[in-house]
Amino acid sequence: MLKKLLLVCLLWPALVLAQVHEYRLDNGLKILVKADHRAPVVVAQIWYKVGASYEHLGITGISHVLEHMMFKGTKRHPAGEFSRLIAENGGRENAFTGQDYTAYFQQLEKSRLAVSFELEADRMRHLTLPPAEFAKEVQVVMEERRMRTEDKPTALTYEQFNAAAFVSSPYHNPVIGWMTDLKSLTVDDLRAWYRRWYAPNNATLVVVGDVDPEAVLALARKYYGPLQPSQLIPPKPRTEIEQKGPRRIVVRAPAKLPYLILGWHVPVLNTAKHEEEAYALEVLAGILAGGDSARLPRELVRGHEIAADADAGYDLYARQESLFVLDGTPAEGHSVAELRKALLAQVERLKREPVSAAELARIKAQVVAGKVYEQDSVFYQAMQLGMLESVGLGWRKLDEYPEKIRAVTPARIQAVAKKYLITDHLTEAELEPLPLAAPSHE
């Protein structure tokens, strides 16, 4: 069976490699095109290298508010026009902001790609930012913050956990911004932010679908070609200071269930001196939580039944140094202290014993299958290309992934556990439930 697995592995990278076409316009716009002729559709995404991790205290959330304002019009296409035109062409559109990027996308029937390019190129340099629209939209973002964070006890805990774990790193701040910063944001702040970051030489255009790459390039030249680049001042490094001892915070909020997060400072692919360490951490997360047969579901959720839920997370593709995170909710009759002890025991075991060959084989099988499955979604394929390009890794890293995962050994996993998952670099956050309102009535 191993032999057959390998056969599949060997075949698919050829398939992926052959399909991505890379171009750059004179104004600096990077273009990635991947042909996928399964259905007569196309997805176009434009990725800007700006996000919450480019911000500082006082203007947190500005990248995300600007993302909202990108739908509020240019001279040529006033507020609402962008969405109306995309909708009339049968398209879907939206945008998202993360720590390391802001991206806009349209999904369309393949013949309508020009509509996306015309509108997206126009708002890359010619946004109007009307003050009256801003005044309303910033209220909308505050409602979004209430919905996503203020009224979700686990999200609130996560936000404060990040603020405790990161001191000098920009990951200290939430993507949506602190409420106090949202309240003091002005349209002039946005204008400056827009001018600074929204330019062809700070963007990547990704197109995946039933297209001819050369035709896409010609179309991109027509619409994006005339845009002027800007003088980019790269962001300061803002690396995280070394943590000198464990940190622990408690969040008290109305809730029913306690919740625990443990996070260790670890390198990511972008920051690791030895890339192998980052891939070993990726596999380590899979050993703990990659599938129902992984250690946390098997031993903590089933087995000893200490956790109602337990997970592991690691962001291989973060722009800056990040965290290896374990989180969970204790099972009925168990305390947060017991859950904490069980999670830490799992970490100690990783340091003590090498993982088994069967566990490693499982992860490798999942990676191989995952690479086939992800081709079922043109959107996801475009997402991956855009993200890797935007964090500075370059899309070719995607093709290395299976082979790098295959190269991870039990000894390497044990070594990264010993080196990085240490008490002095640990931050813990606990959600301590406060009573909810009196019993409801109808």
**Site residues for other proteins, window 244-273 (CB under 8 A)?**
254-257
Least distance to other proteins from the beta carbon of 140, Å?
A: 5
- Residue closer to other proteins by CB (options 245, 435) is 435
Q: Which of 345, 365, 415, 422 binds other proteins (CB under 8 A)?
A: 365
Q: Please list every residue from 391 through 430 that binds other proteins, using CB under 8 A.
A: none
Is residue 352 a contact point for other proteins (CB under 8 A)? no
Q: What is the DSSP string of 374-436?
A: GGG-HHHHHHHHHHHHHTTS-TTHHHHHHHHHHT--HHHHHHHHHHHS-GGGEEEEEEEEEP-
- Pick the piece of the chain touching other proteins (CB under 8 A) from 121-129, 166-174, 273-281, 364-372: 364-372
Q: Which of 294, 310, 383, 391 binds other proteins (CB under 8 A)?
A: 294
Kindly calculate the radius of gyration of the chain based on its CA atoms and give it in whole angstroms. Answer: 23
Q: Please list every residue from 25 through 54 that binds other proteins, using CB under 8 A.
A: 36-41
Least distance to other proteins from the beta carbon of 441, Å?
A: 8
Q: Which 3 state secondary structure label does DSSP give 438?
A: coil
Least distance to other proteins from the beta carbon of 366, Å?
A: 5
Q: Please list every residue from 315 through 334 that binds other proteins, using CB under 8 A.
A: 329, 331-332
Least distance to other proteins from the beta carbon of 249, Å?
A: 20
Which residues partner with 289 through β-bridges? none
Burial class for 34, CB neighbours closer than 10 Å (0-12, 13-18, 19+): buried
Q: Residue 314 corresponds to which tokens in the numbers above?
A: 């690691």
Burial 399-438 (b: 16+ CB within 10 A, else e): bebbebbbebebebbbbbbeebbeeebbbbbbbeeeeeee
- Residue closer to other proteins by CB (options 250, 373) is 373
Least distance to other proteins from the beta carbon of 200, Å?
A: 26
- Pick the piece of the chain touching other proteins (CB under 8 A) from 14-22, 225-233, 349-357, 388-396: 14-22
Q: Residue 36 corresponds to which tokens in the numbers above?
A: 């996928």
Question: Pairing between strand 30-35 and 102-109?
Answer: unpaired
Q: Residue 61 corresponds to which tokens in the numbers above?
A: 């959330």
* Cβ(146)–Cβ(24) below 8 Å: no
Q: Which 3 state secondary structure label does DSSP give 273?
A: coil
Burial class for 245, CB neighbours closer than 10 Å (0-12, 13-18, 19+): exposed
- Residue closer to other proteins by CB (options 35, 249) is 35
Q: Which of 76, 183, 248, 298 binds other proteins (CB under 8 A)?
A: 298
- Residue closer to other proteins by CB (options 275, 374) is 374
CA geometry: angle 49, 53, 59, nearest 5 deg? 105
Tokens 């032999």 -> residue: 3
Q: How far apart are CA 267 and CA 330, in angstroms?
A: 29
Q: Please list every residue from 64 through 83 that binds other proteins, using CB under 8 A.
A: 71, 79-80, 83
- Pick the piece of the chain touching other proteins (CB under 8 A) from 51-59, 130-138, 242-250, 399-407: 130-138
Q: Which of 24, 57, 76, 92 binds other proteins (CB under 8 A)?
A: 92
Is residue 304 a contact point for other proteins (CB under 8 A)? no
- Pick the piece of the chain touching other proteins (CB under 8 A) from 243-251, 264-272, 339-347, 375-383: 375-383
Is residue 144 a contact point for other proteins (CB under 8 A)? yes
Q: How far apart are CA 205 and CA 220, in angstroms?
A: 9
Q: How far apart are CA 141 and CA 149, in angstroms?
A: 12
Q: Which of 61, 153, 174, 263 binds other proteins (CB under 8 A)?
A: 153
Is residue 291 a contact point for other proteins (CB under 8 A)? yes
Is residue 180 a contact point for other proteins (CB under 8 A)? no
Is residue 1 a contact point for other proteins (CB under 8 A)? yes
Residues in the chain: 442
Least distance to other proteins from the beta carbon of 435, Å?
A: 9
Least distance to other proteins from the beta carbon of 380, Å?
A: 9
Q: Which of 22, 366, 400, 420 binds other proteins (CB under 8 A)?
A: 366
Q: Which 3 state secondary structure label does DSSP give 225?
A: coil
Q: Which of 75, 244, 273, 442 binds other proteins (CB under 8 A)?
A: 442
CA geometry: angle 242, 248, 251, nearest 5 deg? 130
Is residue 357 a contact point for other proteins (CB under 8 A)? no
Catalytic residues: 67
Q: Please list every residue from 200 through 239 that binds other proteins, using CB under 8 A.
A: 210
Least distance to other proteins from the beta carbon of 116, Å?
A: 13
* Cβ(293)–Cβ(366) below 8 Å: no
